[in-house]
Amino acid sequence: MPVSAAATPAATDSATDAAVCAPLPVLGRDVLVPLVTGGEVEYAALDIAASAPALQRVWDDVAAYAPYYGSVHRGAGYLSQLSTDLFENSRAEVARFLGCREGDQLVFTRSTTDSLNLLAAVLPAHTRVFVFETEHHASLLPWEQRADIEVTYLDAPRTPQQAVDTLERALAEREPGSASEGFEKSGGGAQRSGNALVCVTGASNVTGELWPVRELAAAAHAHGARIVLDAAQLAPHHPVDLAELDVDWVAFSGHKLYAPFGAGVLAGRADWLQAAEPYLAGGGASRTVARRADGGVDVDWHTTAARHEAGSPNVIGVYAIAAACKALTEAGFESLVAREQQLVERVRAGLAEVPEVTVLSLFGDDAPRVGVLSFVVAGWNSSHFAAALSAEYGIGVRDGLFCAHPLVRTLLGAGSQAPGECGAPEGAPGEQSLNAIRVSFGAGTPDEHVDRFVRAVKELVTDGARWSYRTEDGRCVPDTAAAG
């Protein structure tokens, strides 16, 4: 269906009024979308856990810089020098946002996925990695790419304390490796031979539930292991401070932090980053390259963050992340968190009034969470329900397994071998449909969008869809040939 990118004057006034309720206005808040039942409505972007719209301030900052865009670390010209300063100042801004410690290194990447693949690439050989099956694929899968890395997958915990206890047991039971350069004493805990890494999310991309990061970090360090925090869903909703959380690394994506310009971050301890071969070989990562008498080349690689930032840096994406970090900080996370929790409670209370709706949770209904909730509706395929929300109400949510297949299958009560894929619609006759619906919101979400969502859920469950739908390319879509 076509999308109207510019609202009419009357619609613009309405959109502006709705946006007043959002402390940080986002781009696209005045976009109108057509409804299959006729007319247009302001688009309700409630899929920000996948990609958040750009903050208006981020867009304005990027637009103001765009005429001055130049190569970074590559030239003596004014624009190149200005862009280089902007790039490195952005690094400092993001480091402040993350509470980086003295000696920490902050590397700019393409995304959370890229950041965690970078960390996987620099792990010392024979490192033991411990990861819960509840992780997003970005933090579940990178470790499998290393043949010399052993991965231990931990079962989904049902309470925060069970998560800590499960990790404690797994770390205590690991067989010590041989004493080597990798031997370390971390966090004042007991000495262990060999390296170990724990990977954990800060907030689930499926349930929105907050994980006990500090306690997991303490458990890791007590057993001589390091820990990396996947903050893709945490950073847009809560402060993330490496020193306070006592994690060794943190990874997140700009496109989930209201800065969708193709950049990400890996920040934390520098030693493994400096000791490993560059993630990408090329210009920028090397200080000097010289031919040898035997015809080969000798390379002196950087030991700074540049070692893993080969190629022309994405200065626009980096500056956008820094602008978003600054905007969130200046808005005050305390007030943003309080307001978002009000929205969470409104959604939870509204869904609780619909007996057919089951909200998915690992830790229980009272578990603290960010503005991310997934649910299923009795009698509905989730793809059909999401399609109706979009086509009949102008509400964008997500359906499927959310790139967290093991977790969603556990929550839906399906076995680990059950069929299904991200966005999979109806299963075969007699087969359980493995998909759920996810609604997500945050600092840029107007109150009206959340209220419309709750109202739409109730109406769809009570009255059913007002339009006919069909499957096309594996997705449920409105049947344009239907008369309604």
Residues acting as catalytic residues = 403
d(CA 60, CA 85): 19
Closest to 52 measured CA to CA, from 327, 275, 369, 433? 327
d(CA 384, CA 377): 10
Rounded to 5 degrees, what are φ and ψ at 398?
-125, 145
Q: Contact at 8 Å (CB) between 420 and 224?
A: no
Please name every residue paired with 264 in a beta bridge, in sequence order, or none if there are none.
109, 253
Name the helix (H) or strand (E) containing 398.
Answer: strand 398-400
Q: Contact at 8 Å (CB) between 324 and 254?
A: yes
DSSP letter at 60?
Answer: H
Q: Contact at 8 Å (CB) between 327 and 433?
A: no
Q: 274 to each of 277, 285, 299, 366, 438, how far by Cα in Å?
A: 8, 11, 15, 43, 39
d(CA 359, CA 374): 6
d(CA 199, CA 163): 12
Reported in sequence order, the residue ranges of 47-149 that DSSP labels E, i.e. its strands, are 105-109, 128-132
Q: Contact at 8 Å (CB) between 474 and 457?
A: no
Closest to 388 measured CA to CA, from 448, 345, 437? 437
d(CA 455, CA 444): 20
Q: Contact at 8 Å (CB) between 149 and 123?
A: yes
Q: Which residues have C-beta within 8 Å of that of residue 466, sequence separation ≥ 6? A: 37, 392, 484
Alpha helices in 261-332 (DSSP H): 271-275, 315-331
Parallel, antiparallel or unpaired: strands 475-478 and 469-472: antiparallel
Identity at 149, one-letter amino acid code: I
Q: Which two tokens stand for residue 210?
A: 């907050």
Closest to 152 measured CA to CA, from 160, 143, 161? 143
d(CA 220, CA 197): 8
DSSP letter at 158?
Answer: S
